[in-house]
Amino acid sequence: MSTTSLTPKLNSGSVQAIPLGAIAPWAIFGLLLAIVGIYFVGAEQGATALFKGMYVHEFVHDARHLLGFPCH
Ligand SMILES: [Zn+2]
């Protein structure tokens, strides 16, 4: 008969905290990527468009509707 435990087993017995200074640059980088992604999904159209044509708009069109941004 096998016994299973739902509690995690730690090898060292302690969990090391990650310093905020080590996480902050990656958090800022991730935030910038998210802002760029939200811009392209939500505002890359018409007067605020960075690229000519409708290619980017059509590429993210389903995401735009999924997130509730106004479209057409
Ligand atoms: Zn649409």
Structural domain boundaries of the chain?
Answer: 32-72
Q: Is the pLDDT of residue 7 over 70?
A: no
Place 2 in a pLDDT band, splitting at 50, 70 and 90: low
For residues 70 and 25, which has the higher predicted lDDT (pLDDT)? 25
Cα separation, 20 vs 35, whole angstroms: 21
Contacts of 71 (CB under 8 A, 6+ apart): 45, 61, 64, 65
Cα separation, 53 vs 58, whole angstroms: 10
CA of 72 to the centre of ligand 1 (A): 5
Cα separation, 29 vs 33, whole angstroms: 6
CA of 70 to the centre of ligand 1 (A): 8
CA of 33 to the centre of ligand 1 (A): 23
Cα separation, 55 vs 43, whole angstroms: 13
